[in-house]
Structure formats: C-alpha cells, structure tokens
Structure 1
Amino acid sequence: MESRNKIVIVPFDFTDVAECAVNHAAGLAKHQGWAVQLLHIINRDTRALLNVYKVTDELVKERLQEKIEEYSNKYGVPFSFEAKEGSIFTDIGKTAEDVGASFIVMGTHGKQGIQHIFGSYAHKVITSTRIPFIIVQKREYRDGYNRILIPIDDTLESRQKIKWAIYIAKQFDATIHVKAMFLNDELYKAKIRAVLNKVVEVFEKNGVKYEAEIVPETGSFAKQVIDYARKIDADMLLVMTNTDSSIVPNFILNPWDEQIIFNDAFIPVMAINPREINITVVGL
C-alpha cells in the first residue's frame, strides 16, 4: 500500500450506525497497528439544530472527548477527534486526504437511511476522494475480513481492483471469491472469460486463496452477488467506481455497485475510487 499515515477516519454523528463504523474502524486499526480519528462535520442543518437546543460547540467537543476516551479504553486503540464546520459532501474526503488517512469507515442505515442523512446525492460522499471507503450497516466487526467477495464484469478496472483485493486478503489471510457477470453475447463471453482467467492467474502467482466462477444469466446480477455473499457468510464485498470525465469529481457508481453497497444482508462493502497504489503484485 502506498505510504500514508496510519489513520482511519470515521464520520461521526453520535448515531448507532456511527457506533458500528467505530467498531469496524477500531478492529481494522487494532489489526494493523493504526489509530482512529472521529470526524464530526457541523453543516447548516446541524448548526440550526444546535441553536434550537442551545448546544454549544464546546459541549459538542466535550461529548467527542468523552467518546474517544470511552473507545480508547474499550478497543485498546488510539482515538482522536476533529469537529469542524463544513459540508459532508466535500469535507469528509478532504479531511481524510489532508491527514493522509488510509481508509474512511462510514456507517449507513442502507440506501434510504444514507439518503436521509446525507441528502439525495449520497454517492457524492463515497466518490468525493481517492481514499477507499468501507461502508458498514448493522453488522459488527468479526475478527477480520476473512471472506471477500468481488463482483466483476468486462469493465473491470483490473489492475487497481485486484491489487486492493490482494492487499486486503494478505492482511487477513482471506479467501477471495470472484463472481463474474455472464451475458448471452459471444463477444462479451470471450471478454469476461479472458478477464476471469487473468484474475485467477494473478491470484495464483501471488499465493492468494480464491474461488472464481461466472454467474449464469438469470435475474439481477446484484441480487445473485448478495445472495451468494449470504451463502458464504462474506465479511466484505469489494466494488470500484468508474471514471467519468463528464462529472466532478470524475467517479461514478454502477447501478449494481450501488445495490451492493446498500445491500440488505448488511455486509460491509469496500468502495474504491480509482488511483494507483504502491503494492507489489506479481503479474500486474
């Protein structure tokens, strides 16, 4: 992994899903020997509520201080916090980049919940930075990410996505499960088989445990992926945004990626925005 500070950022608003994100961030940080920073963004809506209930900034910081002391004692991991005025759409990613964070771990209630909390453009938060997000819902950290599921199609940004999968797998001695989308088109069939063969070759050269298969063309690919994730009791799903020069900040989510991120099995999802990473991978 490229040289970055050993910090995990958690957007924190004192909710249950933020607590769940803290749980995952602490587990990851403890495993890696990192620290966790809570990030509390005070936007216009938050400021209005604070004013209504006459809650001062000092009181918010006191509560955050209490939380980091509680979490440090509970998880045995260094915690700090930052409270700042700003926008969740830009300042989560910007703050993470400013401190050189390795990951952002964010809690959600699922698609409806995150849209309620973050507005109708929730994906802007996830796609606002090159730093990878781990999106969690109700499911707590379970002693590592030991079964990782990657859905792929012929648009796979293979070099970076596979590098990240191998990096996570090696950290946790995980098995990577690859599910490739199948379409009844001869050109597509040839392309997806070539992609899958290359992925398998790279896994074998790098000594990574894996299982790989092409999914039959029946029904929703996202649903098949989520159903399979349930079957293997996956600890993490891994998706990657695509670049799109017509929008800012140039990252978008595929429709089935979005369904997977907000999956109803509550499985954590690592969402990667394209960037080169300094991980040595044989065959890439």
Structure 2
Amino acid sequence: MEVDSKIIVVPWDFTPVTEYALQHAIKISRQTRNDVCLLHIVDKVTSEGGMKAKQASMENRGAEVERTFGVKVKTHVTRGTIFKQIPEFVNDRKASLVVMGTHGMSGMQKLTGSWALKVIAKSKVPYIVVQAPPNDNERYHDIVFPVDFRSEEKEKLSMAIFMGKYFDSKIHILKAMRKDDSLAKKTNLNLNYTVRMLIQNNIDYEIREVPADKLGEHALEIAQEMKADLILIMTTKDITFADYVWGAKEQYIIANSSKIPVCCVNPTSAFANLGQFMYG
C-alpha cells in the first residue's frame, strides 16, 4: 500500500484540544503525505440538519488547513459513542494513526485519560494522545522510550524508528532495572534488540537505567525534566498487569500534568499497519 493512501484520523468536537490534535496531525502529514480525516461523533438524537451543519463547519476548517499547509483534510460525521465509533472507523478505514486530544469530547462523552485508554484498547492502530499544541512545527526532538521485559516491547519500536526517520528524533531509552533474573534477562534482550535496530536505521539514542518499580512515574519525571516531545508506551488491557509494569496507571501517563504527548501502541495489532505507514 502506498504511503500517501492511508489517513491520520483526528477525533473532532470543535474544542481547543482537538485543534491541538489537528496541529500535531498536520505536522505528521506534511512528512508522510497522509491525508488527515476529522471524525465527529454525535448522539443518536441529533437531527440531520445538525449533522449537516457540523459537516459544513468541518469542511470549512479542512479547506483552511489545505490552503495554509497543503495538507488534504477529509471529514466524517457519524452517530454513536466515542467508544464504538472511533475504533470502528479507524479499523474499517485501515488508518495509519489516530491523533486524539484528551478532555476533547463534550458533555457525557468527555474524553479523559481513563476513557481515552478504553478507546485506544479497541483499536488496531497507534494513538498519539495530546493536551497541547506541538512544541515544534517541524520535529519531535526528544522521545522517551521505556524498555521492560514484555515481548510486546519490540512492537512499539516500529513507532520509534518511524519518528526517528521522519522527524530526526533522539530516542531516550529507559531500561527498567529488574531484580528478578528471568525478567532482567528478558529486559536485556529487548534492550539489545532496540539498540541494534536503532543503529541499523541511523537513529540517535541514549540509555538510562531506572528502577523498575513505578516505571511510568520515572518515565514521566524524566520526560518532564528534558521537556520531551513524546512518551512512547505499550498499552495493555489487563489493568492488574498494567499496575505491575507501570506503577502509575496508563491513564495518568496519558493525561500527565506536563501535557507531554503520549504515543500508545497496542500489542499485536499496530505493527503491520505501522509498517505500511512507514514503508508503503
């Protein structure tokens, strides 16, 4: 599949945080040549006239983006809930990526960190979850990349390679220090594989060792210190296991107080799509 035949989906509700998500999507689209698609969800009682008005407003915003940035923007309005319609749309359309603002859905469908995680877990593509505009309109300079013992860790490496290639990013690897010999061995295998692939792709990196307990909190602290542009994590549907791996629940990483964007990669589902996104 050609690189420019896929779309970047932005869930849209006309609030500032979804505008921030659009700004990130524009930044990515200008490098990848993917079209952007604004997706708006309305409830089942919204009239046809109301839906058409929303569609027209989105088309106007899309036209502004195309004139200003040369990025083609598609629009889609549908009825339902964010939990069903967003994953269904991105899976059916084989989207490359979703860029989603937290706290971006109004009323009863307001999107918080925990609700965002529910949407992400049902999708087959990576999500970048944002709370603020991009720090830089051209690059994602510094990306925090925790590495632990899970075999799925290798899957998020595709996203790191993508960012390194398209945005000249430096990958800041955080190696989780495990006391258990078996888990430490698995972590080292993941680390060695990560480093080997980054070297093969000529991507700059550094390695830091951090305590394995509360890995998520350590990742946030380091990201805040360096004013990172992105934190890259794997998601898991097992909340108990997530607590064991991360310490801080994933939703708190997603909705972090420093408003650092977080890229969430789902185990087993995002790898193939991202490969198409990166390499055609």
Same fold (TM > 0.5): yes
Percent identity over the alignment is: 31
User: Which stretch of the first structure deviates more once superposed, 67-76 or 1-10?
Assistant: 1-10
Q: How far has the Cα of 1:198 moved from its partner?
A: 2.9
What are the residue-to-residue correspondences of 1:125-140 with 2, within 5 Å? 125-140=119-134
Change (3 A) 1:267 1:211: same
Alpha-carbon offset, residue 152 of structure 1: 2.0
Equivalent residue for 1:20? 20
Q: Deviations over 1:23-49 (max 9, x none)?
A: 1111111122221111111124xx4xx
1:145-204 superposed Cα distances (whole Å, 9 cap, x missing partner) = 221111121125133122221122111121111112224434433332333233223322
1:31 match: 31
Query: Cα distance, 1:115 vs. partner?
Result: 8.9
- Residues 219-269 of structure 1 show CA distances to partners (whole Å, capped at 9, x for unaligned) of 73222211211222211111112366xxxxxxxx96543332222111111
Residue 114 of structure 2 corresponds to residue 145 of structure 1: no
Aligned position for 2:263 = 270
Q: Is the 8 A contact 2:130 2:262 kept in 1?
A: yes
Whole-angstrom CA distance in 2 between matches of 1:104 and 1:172: 18
CA distance in 2, matches of 1:199, 1:64: 40
Query: What's the Cα RMSD here?
Result: 3.1
For structure 2, list consecutive stretches of 5 or more residues without a partner in the other structure. Answer: 239-244
Gaps in structure 1 of 5+ consecutive residues: 245-252
Q: Distance in 1 between matches of 2:218 and 2:2?
A: 33
Q: Which residue of 1 aligns with 2:242?
A: none
> Using a 3 Å threshold, how does the CA distance of structure 1 residues 72 and 212 change in structure 2: closer, same or farther?
same
Hey, what's the Cα distance between the residues in 1 that align with 2:25 and 2:275? 22
One of 76, 97, 102 as aligned partner of 1:108: 102
The equivalent residue for 1:87 is 81
Among 195, 201, 205, the residue aligned to 2:200? 205
Q: What amino acid is aligned across from residue 186 of structure 2 in structure 1?
A: K
Asked if the contact 2:139/2:168 (under 8 Å) is kept, the reply is no
80 and 96 in structure 1: CA distance in 2 versus 1, 3 angstrom threshold: same
**Residue 166 (structure 1) aligned to one of 161, 164, 187:** 161
Specify the alignment match of 1:258 in structure 2: 251
Q: Give TM-score scaled by structure 1 length.
A: 0.81
Mapped partners of 2:101, 2:7: distance in 1 = 17
Instruction: Please tell me whether the aligned partners of residues 11 and 40 of structure 2 are also in contact (alpha carbons under 8 angstroms).
Output: yes
Whether the 8 Å contact between 2:230 and 2:260 is mirrored in structure 1 is yes
1:231 aligns with 2:225: yes
The 3-state SS of whatever aligns with 1:260 is helix
| Aligned mate of 2:58, from 54, 64, 69 | 64
Q: CA deviation at 1:117?
A: 0.4
How does the TM-score come out when normalised to structure 2?
Answer: 0.82
Tell me by how many angstroms 1:141 deviates.
Answer: 5.2
Greater radius of gyration (CA)? 1
**2:91 counterpart of 1:97:** yes
